[in-house]
Amino acid sequence: MRYDALVVGGSFAGLSAAMQLARARKNVCVVDAGAPRNRFAAAAHGFFGQDGVPPLKMIADARAKLLAYPNVTFIEGRIVSAQADGAGGFVASLDSDRQLSAGKLMLAFGVQDGFPDGIAGVRERWGTSVLHCPYCHGYEFSGRRLGVLIEAPHPPDHAMLIAEWGPTTLFLNANNTMDDEARARLQARGVTIEPGRIAALEGAGQDLAGIRLEDGRIVAVEALFMVPRTRPSSPIAEQLGCAFDDGPAGPVIRTDAMKMTTVPGVYAAGDAAMPMHNATLASADGVMAGTAMHRAMVFGA
């Protein structure tokens, strides 16, 4: 069977795109590898009508709504390669070796977070007490001692923002690229600047109690905000020849205003195709991409 659309990734962006296509009566196949980016967090915040709901529940509920449409197929698995089929469509291979054929492709496979080398205790606290976004998880740490770990090329000004939520220490981790003006701005805001190299995070289980520096001192901190480097979760945009732009955290698949990539017939939505990463924005991006793809099916593009 040749699907009208193959959606790679069935989370906030992919399910939102697929819903628009399903409601436009297209045959849609969604393939999902089951590892949404926020799976480490017990609750997602800030999403319209869903504040505090576990992200995996939000996704499962959205998937169930989508699967109520008889023209939707959902496959648990991973697309490992995709290419043009020479007849205006695409053929993609699953990790099970099964091949799928579709008229158009939607890339909604998200991004992977990269963590700084040599700091013990970051990975196991990711999404609990080591966090990427103050709007998502800052409120829960209101008024508590907060840390910010910035690695170049991100500006230290991120610590100015985090200070909205509580008393803040900026950890330079022996990587001082700050000019005097930035230092003065942070100090005027009450941010403490800690120049030393971090050795490890301390605390019971996934809780954070402090940050141990290489010189042996421990700075009391209950949540650490950082901006991880990101990379696309799948190499297939590259395989297809899609162009990328440099985003603030990593490469972003280039799209036009209608969410089509630089390869005709291939659309992209969500974290993989946006510089700002947030579930609401990913979902909205998916809606835009799904409706734009449908219009292209009607009007051509």
The footprint of ligand FAD (CB under 6 A) covers 8-9, 11-14, 31-38, 40-41, 44-47, 78-79, 108-110, 113, 126-127, 132-133, 136, 233-234, 270-271, 277-280, 282
Name which of 41 and 199 has its Cβ closer to ligand FAD.
41
- Angstrom distance (rounded) from CA 261 to CA 208: 41
Query: How many Å apart are CA 267 and CA 255, to the nearest integer?
Result: 7
**Nearer to ligand FAD by C-beta: 35 or 218?**
35
Q: How far is the CB of 21 from ligand FAD (least distance, A)?
A: 15
CA distance 211 to 70: 52
The residue at minimum Cβ distance from ligand FAD is 270
For the beta sheet containing 223-226, the strands, ordered from the edge strand earlier in sequence to the opposite edge, are: 130-131, 223-226, 146-149, 168-171, 192-194
**Shortest Å, Cβ 111 to ligand FAD:** 7
For residue 128, the minimal CB distance to ligand FAD (Å) is: 8
| Tokens found for residue 253 | 């698949």
User: Please, what is the minimum distance in Å from the beta carbon of residue 156 to ligand FAD?
Assistant: 22
- Give whichever of 44 and 242 is closer to ligand FAD, judged by the CB atom: 44
131: left (phi over 0), alpha (psi -120 to 50) or beta: beta
Tokens of 266: 């291939």
> Minimum Å distance from CB 202 to ligand FAD?
20
Q: Which is nearer to ligand FAD, 22 or 279 (CB)?
A: 279
- Least distance in angstroms from the C-beta of 283 to ligand FAD: 8
Judge contact between 172 and 178, C-beta under 8 A: yes
* Of 82 and 163, CB closest to ligand FAD: 82
* CB nearer to ligand FAD: pick between 151 and 189: 151
> Is the backbone of residue 97 left (phi > 0), alpha (psi -120 to 50) or beta?
left
The conformation of residue 289, written as its DSSP 8-state character, comes to: H
Helix or strand (DSSP H, E) at 239 = helix 236-240
